[in-house]
């Protein structure tokens, strides 16, 4: 874990002119593209095929490998492929594997063999999670401290835009030519991402790989948990986004209870969510160049907490398009900034020798609150009401801000 501050801070213009920023944007898009194949696109296909909501809900568990990716990340740290360097070789291989798996999915029929559809989806997720492991490691390897914010923003921008495009692209083709053509088109698009991978620059510094598979697990764990204060930084990774995750956990049920229709939520709220997150990521990345990691995390953390209270206003006034648009825009703007800060923090904590494993583990820990809060969130909404729900979302965001302040010297040293 490197805690050395870097005095040679490059200018914003120099960072933006660096070709690796474009490479990160493309790789971020490659990361987001298959995510929608096994989420929204798969759900739309199953709904079109007449499957029940219960079945569709059960099949969302095909995404579990995204949470478990740290289990095989050490293999990707230890064993590089012979082409395109330590990271890009694995990225290209996983992209081709995703494309092939998606093409196989195109020839399945959910009406006659739902198990085959589920199996193909799990395989796509496994390769997609593997691609994420190596792309995240590549980001850590190429990023200098002053560049982390913009690199995180570029990756987030590519991911969000590509996720939205993949879903819209699939639905348009499915409407015109059917689902088989849609999935085959998605497979071809995934193959095209390998061009960007091949053209991406190699990191300036090539760290030595772990001497054995055992060391590729043991040594990065010692680095993460053995350094004084490291556990506190890991707790910060888990707490920084917890209020934001809680606020958005039951977003759709809240909007429906307030009185918005599903169409209004889909056409207005979701579009604002996506655009707000993208704008927030871009602004967050630009501000991080000027503010550094510590001041950015303090500012973005406060914005995340306060923005949750906009939903409290919506719960009080009831159905109101201006208030809804304001609440969703402000919250997702702050959320996008918080995402960039979280990614930059994780990148700073990782050691480039073990960046695949350490980043996969830390990102899984960062996602834990999002997956663990469903039960408590539902109970609070049912028993305390939506107004109190968003007060709680504000309150539980405060420990993350306090944690940044208490660890300010360590966070300052990281960025």
- Per-residue pLDDT 10s for the chain (415 aa) are 444 344 455 555 665 566 777 888 889 889 888 887 887 778 778 877 777 766 776 676 787 888 888 888 888 877 888 888 778 899 999 999 999 999 999 998 888 888 898 899 999 999 999 999 999 888 888 877 777 777 877 887 888 778 777 777 787 888 888 889 989 999 999 999 999 898 888 877 666 666 667 777 777 787 777 777 778 888 898 889 888 888 877 776 787 788 877 667 666 766 787 788 888 888 888 888 788 889 999 999 999 999 999 999 999 998 898 998 899 899 989 988 998 888 888 888 877 777 778 888 888 888 777 666 666 777 787 888 889 989 999 999 999 999 999 998 888 887 6
Question: How far out from the chain centre does Cα 295 lie?
Answer: 22
Residues 6+ apart with CB under 8 A from 352: 140, 141, 203, 205, 207
User: CB count, 10 Å around CB of 259?
Assistant: 11
Angle at 272 between CA 266 and CA 273, to 5 degrees: 85
Dihedrals phi, psi of 106, to nearest 5 degrees: -60, -25
Inter-CA distances, 181 with 186, 203, 377, Å: 9, 38, 40
pTM score over 0.85: no
Residues 6+ apart with CB under 8 A from 325: 268, 272
Given CATH 1.20.1250.20, say whether it is the number of domain 13-206: yes
Token representation of residue 353: 């020798």
Which ranges in 82-147 belong to alpha helices (H)?
85-106, 114-142
* Torsion sign (Cα): 79, 83, 84, 90: negative
Domains 13-206 and 211-415 share a fold: yes
- Asked whether the beta carbons of 267 and 360 are under 8 A apart, the reply is no
The single-letter DSSP state of residue 61 is G
The residues spanned by each domain of the chain are: 13-206, 211-415
| Interatomic CA distance for residues 41 and 239, integer angstroms | 31
**3-state class (DSSP) for residue 407:** coil
**3-state class (DSSP) for residue 112:** coil
| Interatomic CA distance for residues 110 and 78, integer angstroms | 38
User: CB count, 10 Å around CB of 207?
Assistant: 14
For helices 148-177 and 114-142, what crossing angle results, to 10°?
Answer: 150
Of 386, 394, 369, 338, the C-alpha closest to 245 is 369
| Interatomic CA distance for residues 272 and 77, integer angstroms | 38
Per-residue confidence (pLDDT) for residue 99, from 0 to 100: 95
Per-residue confidence (pLDDT) for residue 2, from 0 to 100: 43
- Architecture of the CATH domain 211-415: Up-down Bundle (1.20)
Per-residue confidence (pLDDT) for residue 143, from 0 to 100: 74
User: CB count, 10 Å around CB of 230?
Assistant: 17
């Amino acid at each position: 874990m490197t805690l050395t501050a870097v005095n040679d801070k490059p200018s914003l213009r120099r960072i933006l002119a660096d070709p690796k920023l474009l490479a990160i944007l493309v790789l971020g898009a490659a990361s987001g593209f298959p995510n929608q194949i096994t989420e929204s696109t798969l759900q739309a296909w199953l709904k079109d095929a007449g499957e029940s909501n219960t079945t569709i809900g059960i099949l969302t568990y095909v995404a579990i490998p995204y949470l478990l990716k740290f289990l095989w990340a050490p293999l990707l740290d230890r064993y590089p492929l012979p082409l395109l360097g330590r990271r890009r070789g694995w990225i290209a291989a996983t992209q081709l594997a995703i494309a092939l798996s998606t093409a196989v999915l195109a020839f399945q029929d959910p009406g006659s063999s739902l198990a085959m559809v589920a199996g193909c989806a799990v395989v796509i997720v496994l390769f997609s999670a593997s691609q994420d492991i190596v792309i995240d490691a590549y980001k850590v390897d190429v990023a200098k401290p002053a560049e982390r914010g913009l690199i995180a923003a570029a990756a987030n921008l590519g991911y969000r835009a590509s996720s939205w495009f993949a879903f819209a692209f699939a639905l348009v083709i499915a409407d015109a030519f059917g689902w088989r053509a849609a999935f085959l088109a998605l497979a071809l698009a995934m193959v095209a991402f390998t061009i960007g991978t091949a053209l991406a620059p190699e990191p300036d510094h090539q760290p030595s790989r772990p001497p054995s598979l055992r060391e590729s697990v043991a040594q990065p764990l010692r680095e993460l948990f053995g350094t004084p204060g490291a556990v506190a930084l890991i707790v910060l990774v888990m707490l920084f986004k917890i209020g934001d995750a809680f606020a958005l956990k039951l977003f759709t049920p809240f909007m429906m209870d307030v009185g918005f229709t599903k169409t209004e939520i889909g056409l207005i709220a979701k579009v604002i969510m996506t655009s707000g997150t993208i704008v927030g990521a871009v602004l967050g990345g630009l501000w991080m160049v000027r503010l550094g990691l510590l001041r950015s995390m303090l500012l973005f953390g406060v914005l995340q907490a306060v923005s949750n209270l906009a939903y409290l206003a919506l719960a009080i006034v009831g159905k109101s398009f201006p208030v809804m648009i304001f609440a969703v825009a402000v919250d997702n703007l702050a959320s996008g900034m918080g995402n960039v800060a979280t990614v930059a923090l994780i990148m700073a904590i990782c050691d480039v020798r073990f960046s695949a494993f350490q980043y996969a583990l830390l990102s899984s820990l960062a996602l834990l609150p999002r997956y663990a809060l469903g039960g408590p969130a539902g109970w609070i909404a049912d028993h305390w009401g939506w107004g109190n729900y968003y007060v709680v979302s504000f309150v539980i965001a405060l420990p993350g801000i306090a944690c940044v302040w208490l660890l300010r010297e360590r966070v300052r040293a990281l960025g």
